[in-house]
Amino acid sequence: MGKVGEELTEQETAIYDRQIRVWGVDAQRRLSKSHIFVSGLKGTVIEFCKNIVLAGVGSLTLNDDRLVTEELLSANFLVPPDENVTRGKSLAELCCESLKDFNPMVSVSVEKGDLANFDVEFFQKFDAVVISCCSLLTKKSVNAKCRNLPRRIAFYTVECRDSCGEIFVDLQNYSYSKKKKEETIECQLQYPSFEEAIAVPWRSLPKRTSKLYFAMRVLERFEVLEKRNLQDNSADDLPNVLKLRKELCEAQCINESQIPVPLLQRLLAARVEFPPVCAIIGGVLGQEVIKAISGKGDPLKNFFLFDAMDGKGIIEDISG
């Protein structure tokens, strides 16, 4: 990941001096030569972009052709609430202009087009790919494209609904080092793809598995069946979602109580993101990408779920 052999410039060393003291010169060198692709610029992803630009990645490519709406502004502090500024510009273009001001050392650019239409070779130039605001089919497809490349590319999906958030991580066959007392230990992890992970039978998962994990899978399935996007859901969909919950729980041999009705109601009614939740999820995602690029520290495997109602962040290893 990144061009490890290239040294930091004097300017980079001076600017990133504080974080070099935290994670070392080698980690910062890898980070400064890395290339990140991000698609779907909602509040959680905006927080992530801010964090990695400040951390000093080599380049950040943004993809989101949507025009600005009031809902998109709810948790996006990069877009000025001025119609004269936003008129005729895509979300990616507006965020690009703002992110450049955070760290002039980072190259920030825009890639126009539909995420689902980018071919395998397009992703070859990136070290990490982060996607949000897209269909289940697109998540599976982009993950598969990243896996079909000759070199390993870190892949992440992130979603924030109401006061809940979910991160999925696929680092494929990943080696890293960590310190234990005075000793450095080399570790290795094997990750499943997104498609493989969500196909793991629910009845085989531990009873303590996060209820939010199951609820997110029900809504994913509902959106596929109804051929709709997240933003099209509403509280009126609850009867049909509960019917689907019953069918899935019966097929997967788990109790419906594992997917509480109040949780589904909250997720369905979500129209805007909560900035504090975006900050938490975006912060965790930023840390995970930095770990993956630097090769230092225990990476998350493979789901992170957060619900502000209980304030808990839970890591679930759903690998089959």
125 contacts: CB under 8 Å, gap ≥ 6: 35
Q: Are residues 174 and 26 in the same domain?
A: yes
Position 2 in a domain: no
Cis previous bond, 302, omega within 30: yes
Q: Are residues 94 and 236 in the same domain?
A: no
Position 184 in a domain: yes
Q: Are residues 210 and 143 in the same domain?
A: no
Q: What confidence score (pLDDT) does residue 305 get?
A: 98
44 contacts: CB under 8 Å, gap ≥ 6: 75, 132, 158, 159, 160, 165, 273, 277, 278, 281, 282, 285
Q: Are residues 258 and 203 in the same domain?
A: yes
Position 169 in a domain: yes
Q: Are residues 183 and 227 in the same domain?
A: no
Q: What confidence score (pLDDT) does residue 8 get?
A: 78
Residues 214-271 pLDDT 10s: 999 999 999 999 988 777 788 899 999 999 999 999 999 999 999 999 999 999 987 7
Q: Are residues 101 and 137 in the same domain?
A: yes
The whole-angstrom separation of Cα 305 and Cα 199 is 18
Position 190 in a domain: yes
What sign for the dihedral angle of Cα 150, 152, 153, 158?
A: positive
227-236: long-range contacts, CB 8 A cutoff, minimum separation 24: 229/135, 230/133, 230/159, 230/161, 231/71, 231/271, 233/267, 233/268, 233/270, 234/268, 234/269, 235/265, 235/268, 235/269
> Which is more confidently placed, 73 or 140?
140
Residues 94-139 pLDDT 10s: 999 999 999 999 999 999 999 999 999 999 999 999 999 999 999 9
> Which is more confidently placed, 209 or 84?
209
The whole-angstrom separation of Cα 91 and Cα 58 is 22
Domain count, the chain: 2
Residues 255-304 pLDDT 10s: 999 999 999 999 998 777 888 999 999 999 999 999 999 888 899 999 99
Indicate if the pLDDT at residue 182 is higher than 50: yes
Q: Are residues 38 and 82 in the same domain?
A: yes
Provide the domain limits for residue 224: 198-269
Position 5 in a domain: no
Q: What confidence score (pLDDT) does residue 279 get?
A: 95
Q: Are residues 58 and 149 in the same domain?
A: yes
Instruction: Using alpha carbons only, give the angle 260, 165, 205 rounded to the nearest 5 degrees.
Output: 55
Structure tokens at 96: 């690009």
Q: Are residues 125 and 247 in the same domain?
A: no
Q: Are residues 181 and 245 in the same domain?
A: no
What's the half-sphere exposure (Cβ side, CA atoms, 13 Å) at 206? 8
Residue type for 138, please?
A: T
Q: What secondary structure letter does DSSP report for 258?
A: G
Residue type for 254, please?
A: I
CATH of the domain at 86: 3.40.50.720
Q: Are residues 27 and 121 in the same domain?
A: yes
CA-CA-CA-CA dihedral for 202, 205, 206, 210, to nearest 10: -60
The whole-angstrom separation of Cα 242 and Cα 218 is 9
Position 299 in a domain: yes
Structure tokens at 153: 């590319």
Q: What confidence score (pLDDT) does residue 268 get?
A: 92
Position 1 in a domain: no
Counting every residue, how long is the chain? 320
Q: Are residues 141 and 282 in the same domain?
A: yes
Q: What confidence score (pLDDT) does residue 5 get?
A: 47
Note the helical H segments in 56-192.
Answer: 70-73, 83-86, 91-102, 136-147
CB environment 215-253: b (16+ within 10 A), e (fewer): bbbbbbbbbeeeeeebeebeeebbeebbebbeebbeeee
Q: What confidence score (pLDDT) does residue 6 get?
A: 64
Position 170 in a domain: yes
Structure tokens at 43: 């509040």
Residues 73-100, mean pLDDT to the nearest whole number: 84
* Cβ atoms of 212 and 318 closer than 8 Å: no
Q: What confidence score (pLDDT) does residue 100 get?
A: 93
Structure tokens at 280: 């938490």
Whole-model pTM? 0.93
Structure tokens at 199: 């196909």
The whole-angstrom separation of Cα 305 and Cα 223 is 20
